[in-house]
């Protein structure tokens, strides 16, 4: 008989996981405490932007396999329960806030049927899975717990869930592995590497992967700083080192650095956890990774001040991009929005454009000015800042935009625009990490 699944937490990760598991043929119940979110999802409306997930959600609801509820007792039917709630940075420090993970496991515990498996997918500090498993041994001794970290990227969520580059499962026994192999059978059949680990290793794989990615980005941004000081070009440098397969050319895009709901908070939580474990020194370098990352934002502000004036009150600055990356409406810890807000706080008249992120950005910074039409956003601007690399910005016509602005000054914070094209149209272009 086909397994029945529940997904606890229907945010970004949970909604994606629920729809994808349904598409593999499972009956899936998505549960969340947020009644509004559940109502939206039940109507087939996605509360956030993610390419391809909107249509998948609608088609899976139509099959009758995928339903959503706020009633936790509805999980009683399920055999496998995926915990997909958030683990944000705590308000009072660097550590991850485990409130939602603990509450989710406690909420489903009374309904867990004999032999069911709870599977954590949220990113958690190492040791959390064992702690939850110990608690479950008291509250629901007939159930088991495993950890199965998620590596999906926003913008590619469906693809990364259905065709991941690996599946990692942290299990305490063979039975848990067998159940997870049954869930992921269609994905395993594609040849996806399967890695069985113990619980702490599975938790560590996730934060180690995100720390490595963050390190790669900050490494190239550190090189950008040196290139600026030495008269070099970081884009050429990145291309040249990237040909070495041991280094690889991906995640070497220099610019204003990483943001979002994962990389920044994950490296901080990892440092906090290492300190608790007595391994503080091992992750000291991540503090520097964080600093380099934040410095990239400051460097853009420094360029604006150096070029326009220390006093920005008379200047109008158009910011292209508010989300932390393209193909997402996520503005959590967005470097673009942070820069916009800092320039606004410094007195500049800042107008922000974004193809998908205006509403979430406005919620976060209601005092910033937003414009849905890029041509209106750039009107009379003294500088344009390209801060999120949406495709539509690469398609802008520099000559036409040049007719609208007050001064043809462009800062490319993502090193993604065709510098020659803009220069040929009479623009002064400053690209991070490139001196000529």
Residues that bind ligand UGA (CB under 6 A): 123, 150-154, 210, 213, 217, 251-253, 255, 257-260, 262-263, 324-325
Angle between helices 284-307 and 199-230 (to 10 degrees): 40
Catalytic residue status for 227: no
Pairing of strands 167-170, 194-197: parallel
Indicate the residue among 79 and 154 with the shorter CB distance to ligand UGA: 154
- Measured in residues, the chain has a length of 436
CA separation for the pair 226, 220 (Å, rounded): 10
Give least dist CB 319 to ligand UGA, A. 15
Residue 21: strand, helix, or coil: helix
Distance in Å, CB of 160 to ligand UGA, minimum? 7
**For ligand UGA, the closer CB: 248 or 426:** 248
Residue 263 Cβ, how far from ligand UGA at the closest point, in Å?
A: 5
Which tokens go with 82?
């995926």
Q: Write out the DSSP string of 325-347.
A: SSS----TT-HHHHHHHHHHHTT
Q: How far is the CB of 286 from ligand UGA (least distance, A)?
A: 15
Catalytic residue among 20, 84, 227, 262: 262
Q: What is the DSSP letter of 142?
A: T
Q: Which of 215/253 has CB closer to ligand UGA?
A: 253
Nearer to ligand UGA, 116 or 123 (CB): 123
Closest CA to 202 of 275, 243, 250, 150: 150
Q: How far is the CB of 257 from ligand UGA (least distance, A)?
A: 5
| Alpha helices (H) along 231-322 | 234-242, 263-276, 284-307
Q: Which is nearer to ligand UGA, 75 or 340 (CB)?
A: 340
Phi/psi at 27 (nearest 5 deg)?
-85, 125
What amino acid positions are annotated as catalytic residues? Answer: 262
């Amino acid at each position: 008989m086909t397994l029945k699944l529940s997904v606890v937490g229907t945010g970004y990760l949970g909604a994606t996981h629920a729809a994808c598991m349904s598409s593999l043929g499972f009956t899936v119940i998505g549960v969340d405490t947020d009644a509004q979110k559940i109502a939206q999802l039940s109507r087939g409306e996605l509360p956030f932007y993610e390419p391809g997930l909107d249509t998948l959600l609608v088609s899976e609801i139509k099959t009758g396999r995928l339903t959503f509820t706020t009633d936790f007792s509805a999980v009683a039917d399920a055999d496998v329960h995926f915990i997909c709630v958030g683990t944000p940075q705590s308000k009072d420090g660097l550590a991850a806030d485990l409130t939602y993970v603990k509450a989710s496991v406690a909420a489903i515990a009374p309904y867990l049927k004999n032999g069911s498996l709870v599977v954590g997918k949220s990113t958690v500090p190492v040791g959390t899975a064992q702690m939850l498993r110990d608690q479950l041994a008291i509250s629901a001794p007939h159930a088991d717990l495993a950890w199965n970290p998620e590596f999906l990227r926003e913008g590619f969520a469906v693809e990364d869930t259905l065709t991941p580059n690996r599946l990692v499962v942290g299990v305490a026994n063979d039975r848990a592995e067998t159940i997870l192999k049954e869930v992921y059978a269609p994905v395993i059949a594609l040849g996806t590497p399967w890695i069985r680990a113990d619980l702490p290793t599975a938790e560590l794989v996730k934060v180690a992967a995100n720390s490595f990615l963050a390190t790669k980005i900050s490494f190239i941004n550190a090189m950008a700083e040196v290139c600026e000081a030495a008269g070099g070009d970081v884009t050429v440098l990145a291309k040249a080192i990237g040909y070495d397969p041991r280094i690889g050319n991906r995640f070497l895009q220099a610019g204003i650095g990483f943001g979002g709901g994962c990389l920044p908070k994950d490296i901080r939580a990892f440092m906090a956890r290492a300190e608790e474990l007595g391994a503080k020194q091992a992750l000291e370098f991540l503090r520097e990774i964080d600093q380099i990352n934040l410095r990239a934002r400051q460097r853009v502000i420094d360029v604006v001040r150096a070029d326009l004036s220390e006093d920005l009150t008379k200047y109008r600055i158009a910011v292209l991009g508010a989300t932390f990356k393209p193909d997402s409406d996520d503005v959590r810890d967005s470097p673009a929005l942070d820069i916009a807000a800092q320039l606004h706080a410094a007195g500049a008249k800042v107008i922000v454009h974004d193809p998908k992120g205006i509403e979430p950005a406005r919620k976060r910074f209601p005092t910033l000015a937003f414009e849905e039409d890029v041509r209106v956003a750039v009107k009379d601007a003294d500088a344009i800042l390209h801060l999120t690399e949406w495709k539509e910005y690469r398609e802008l016509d520099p000559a036409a935009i040049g007719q609208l602005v007050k001064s043809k000054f462009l800062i490319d914070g993502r090193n993604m625009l065709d510098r020659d094209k803009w220069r040929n149209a009479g623009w002064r272009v400053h690209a991070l990490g490139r001196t000529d």
